[in-house]
Structure 1
Amino acid sequence: MAQVVVVTGAASGIGAAVARHFARLGARVVVADIDERRGTAVAEEVHGLFVRTDTTREEDNLALIAAAVEAYGGLDLVHLNAGIGDGGGFGEDDYDAERQHRVLAVNLHGVMYGLHAALPALAAHGGGSLVVTSSMAGVGMAPFDPVYAATKYGVIGLVRSLAPTWREQGVRINAICPGVVRTPILPPEAVDYIEGQGFALAEPAEIAASVAGIAASEEAGHAYVLQAGRAPEPVAFPELDLVRSDA
């Protein structure tokens, strides 16, 4: 039986590449995005289903998962990929509370709503995989966009904290932390600068192949750094060693 795959933020970039990759593997793909024109085009290309989804709305996330289950009978993989950048900084010239709230709403609250909607549906279908897109900014530093970095750290905390409980119900949760990827989130001048400095940009198709490999594995609770020309590298997090009160 063909896999059923749901991808948010799938109208372009990494999400569109993931949709195309799984469609080539024979999966039934549900394309979710707020961009109806480009999202519909990707869905038609992969012979899948488009569901307009504003991931900052809990009801949209619930409706997306319900539509996928109704159309295809269940779920095997959900990739919560929707995200935006440019939350600004904390100086006099770049502090913008409204812009910060928008980045938090999409990158963090949107993932929370997606997890709440998708995890029970995956478990009800006998288990499966859920992948969340974080970023290398979520395990390092991003002085150019600290609010974006904060949200990407946050989703890794969600993944690692939820993974043990949901693993018991057959659902494997992992995060990916892409480095610099050639997607619309990068303006042309940024691409020119990065390449001019001699740094490699990963292609969305390369990231999509890594997502497929991670989703197919039995691992859970990991965050994988994805860079151009390299295999996925799991981040080594320190183990907590709590101090006992009688020590």
Structure 2
Amino acid sequence: MAQSSNTAEKPVVLVTGGAGGIGAAAVRRFTRNGSSVVIADLDAGRGAALAAETGAHFVRTDVRELADNEAAVAAAVERFGRLDIVHLNAGTISSTSIGEGFDPEGYRRLMGINLDSVVYGIQAAHAPLRASGGRIVVTASATGMRPSYEVFYSASKHAVVGLVRSLGPVLAAEGISINALCPGLVDTPMISDRMAELTRAGMAVSSVESVVDALDTVLADPRTGLAWLVMADRALAPFEFADLPVPQERNLAFENGGVRALRTG
């Protein structure tokens, strides 16, 4: 895994959703390479077991809550002295959709885990990452660039991709990079009940290790604000979005998320 940009020491890493799937594979890779790792997950049993296996530190975390994200970041800083890499990996899928089967509680839970957790994770880690010149990688999805029958899952990942692309230049000014990993189908428990049908349909399914390989590549790349497509049937690369230029925007100055004034120089 990549090292922090301003230190020769092995990086200090926080992984949300780190107790299973892609997150657990990332934790194993980071610790195997000598990084100090904090696992943030709601599943205390699996989180503690993985921590015991790898030497990582586990913090029980409900990523839907800002305070829990702040506590996980604080644990990393207090235990290891700094924070260099944040892998915001927590995610879930839901079968709820528009119409008769709409489940508002399921919808809010999905958005809380898939979108709110990313916003809260970035906010919680902002100060220590600014101090270290750190890096953020968010696990999004290929459905963040295309329509999907998993409508709210797709909507949440579209939001995550838009957030990463918009924050790229904002955080770059503070020495922080942010990118999104956008996997297609990955062999995790999230799709285990659908694996037989997916296989029969000829769908390409990636291994978790290949996604962590992609994470390695993204962390080693100096660019920011990109959505990296990670699919079993094509090479890893940033997704090429169609451009929508608004040249007049360069005349505006922005502060705290809003237009402040016309630029004077």
- Pairwise TM-score range, normalised by the shorter structure: over 0.9
Cα-to-partner distance string for 1:108-147 (whole Å, 9 max, x where unaligned):
111110010112211112x12100111011111111x211
CA distance in 1, matches of 2:164, 2:43: 27
Equivalent position of 1:19 in the other structure: 27
Specify which of 196, 200, 204 is matched with residue 196 of structure 1. 200
Q: CA deviation at 1:240?
A: 2.4
CA distance in 2, matches of 1:230, 1:71: 40
- Structure-to-structure mapping, 1:45-194, within 5 angstroms: 45-86=53-94, 88-92=96-100, 94-125=101-132, 127-143=133-149, 145-188=150-193, 190-194=194-198
Q: CA deviation at 1:47?
A: 0.6
The aligned length equals 240
Letter in 2 for 1:148: Y
CA distance in 2, matches of 1:64, 1:158: 22
CA-based RMSD of the aligned residues comes to: 1.3
User: TM-score, length-normalised on structure 2?
Assistant: 0.87
Cα-to-partner distance string for 1:168-210 (whole Å, 9 max, x where unaligned):
222110001110001011133x111111222221111110111
Equivalent position of 1:31 in the other structure: 39
Q: Which runs of 5+ in 2 are unaligned?
A: 1-8, 249-265
Q: CA deviation at 1:230?
A: 4.0
CA distance in 2, matches of 1:112, 1:186: 25
CA distance in 1, matches of 2:141, 2:189: 15
Cα-to-partner distance string for 1:199-230 (whole Å, 9 max, x where unaligned):
22111111011112101210100001101264
Preserved contact between residue 21 and residue 209 of structure 1 (Cα < 8 Å): no
Q: Which runs of 5+ in 1 are unaligned?
A: none
The 3-state SS of whatever aligns with 1:236 is: coil
- Structure-to-structure mapping, 1:195-234, within 5 angstroms: 195-228=199-232, 230-234=234-238
Cα-to-partner distance string for 1:39-98 (whole Å, 9 max, x where unaligned):
111111211100111000100000110100111111111000001111511121x21111
Preserved contact between residue 138 and residue 156 of structure 1 (Cα < 8 Å): yes
Q: CA deviation at 1:238?
A: 2.3
Distance change (3 Å), C-alpha of 1:229 and 1:74:
farther
Identity of aligned residues (%): 42
Distance change (3 Å), C-alpha of 1:225 and 1:64:
same
Distance change (3 Å), C-alpha of 1:162 and 1:5:
same
Letter in 2 for 1:132: V
CA distance in 2, matches of 1:14, 1:100: 23
Q: Which moved more, 1:224-233 or 1:33-42?
A: 224-233
Q: Which moved more, 1:131-140 or 1:232-241?
A: 232-241
User: TM-score, length-normalised on structure 1?
Assistant: 0.93
Equivalent position of 1:242 in the other structure: 246
Distance change (3 Å), C-alpha of 1:152 and 1:41:
same
CA distance in 2, matches of 1:52, 1:71: 15
> Which consecutive segments of 4 or more residues in structure 1 shift more than 6 A?
none
